[in-house]
Amino acid sequence: MSPTPKPGLLDISPYVGGRAAVPGVAKVFKLSSNESPLGPSASTLAALQEATSSLALYPEGSAAVLREAIGEVYKLDPARIVTSGDGSDALLTMLANAYLQPGDEVIFSQHAFLVYKIATLANSARPVVVPEKNSNTGLKVDVDAMLAAVTPKTRMLYIANPNNPTGSYLTRDEMAKLHAGLPRGVLLVIDAAYAEYVTAKDYESGIELAHKFDNVVMTRTFSKLYGLAGLRIGWMYGPAAICDAINRIRGPFNTALLQQLAGAAAVRDREHFWKAVEHNNKWLPWITAEIRKTGLRVDDSVANFVLIHFPKGEKSAANADAFLNKGGVILRSVASYDLPDCLRMTVGTEEQNRLAVKLLQEFMAA
């Protein structure tokens, strides 16, 4: 008999990222993967250049240079930070690898990031998917329903805050309530990939909870606001015991020198950081308002993307997608997030935003 993967593994649908090209259309704007329209800072590129002189050498294995830079900027103990050279995706996966046993239950919400399900099934654990609340301003994680789904088999709960692709967030109090309702032995993983974009005063990214409690971990990424999706740097902050567990199973050199130096430069460049925040603060409300004028439902978002709802029939999400593609704009189909009638649009450059909105107006008026 040929080798068989672990039970559950073949139930995984491989992750498919946002499309990058349209056949037959030469110039396309990719607004499908929540990348930064500003790209990385000049200081990050300079650090990358400098790092090329050391490519022959193994990097320092604990990524101390990067952990110290993150610790300095975010005012965190570097000993409680673990970095990853394969994005925060890899940390989300390693947490599952470290804590899940076959048959364990993992709770996440209906429109949650697809990596949670993949990591769960890869460990022969059972995904428990909880419906979200739906109102005309958006879809939102239902804290009470999440807590009601907890059983003695629950081992982990993943929550993206803010959530992708809905753009909604849980307030500090809502997240605290969720945590307070969990048994101590359940690990709460807060995926804060878009935390840097959030300006709402009642938001807390998970640092406070992860600081205080031994069952909370927060993950972050350089892929979004820092404009480094191609470099694949992620990090997590958590209790010492959880960092210790992850440090035992991660690759011994899992964060390359290029990544350590570029990440350290990126996180220290606060000027570039605020430029990216300001760009988003300007264009996110504009996109939201302009698309709403066409009659489409656009959900409130605190991240760098919006979720657009389409009716069935002629003005469907699939038809809009095709129309925009022909005009040179790629949005993200989110059917695999259980949102077949929606498209997600990333905040782009001014030129990209204006073209996408214009095409949506033409599509709706046609």
Ligand X SMILES: *Cc1c(COP(=O)(O)O)cnc(C)c1O
Query: Percentages helix, strand, coil for the chain, rounded to the nearest 5?
Result: 45, 15, 40
Q: How open is the CA angle 104-107-111, to the nearest 5 degrees?
A: 140
Task: State in angstroms the smallest separation of the CB of 163 from ligand X.
Answer: 7
Candidates 261, 260, 208, 265; CA nearest to 238 is 208
148: tokens are 């009601």
Contact footprint for ligand X (CB under 6 A):
34, 87-89, 113, 160, 164, 191, 193, 221, 223-224, 229, 234
* Partners of 25 in the β-ladder: 22
C-beta of 105 vs 191, nearer to ligand X: 191
C-beta of 242 vs 359, nearer to ligand X: 242
Measured CA to CA, the distance from residue 88 to residue 124 in angstroms comes to 21
Q: Which helix (H) or strand (E) holds 151?
A: none
Candidates 162, 267, 169; CA nearest to 222 is 267
Residue of minimal Cβ distance to ligand X: 87
- The residue behind tokens 């609340």 is 133
C-beta of 218 vs 355, nearer to ligand X: 218
Task: State in angstroms the smallest separation of the CB of 151 from ligand X.
Answer: 25
Measured CA to CA, the distance from residue 237 to residue 241 in angstroms comes to 11
Task: State in angstroms the smallest separation of the CB of 164 from ligand X.
Answer: 4
C-beta of 41 vs 304, nearer to ligand X: 304
C-beta of 36 vs 164, nearer to ligand X: 164
Task: State in angstroms the smallest separation of the CB of 233 from ligand X.
Answer: 7
Task: State in angstroms the smallest separation of the CB of 267 from ligand X.
Answer: 14
Candidates 103, 118, 92; CA nearest to 12 is 118
Task: State in angstroms the smallest separation of the CB of 102 from ligand X.
Answer: 25
C-beta of 120 vs 221, nearer to ligand X: 221
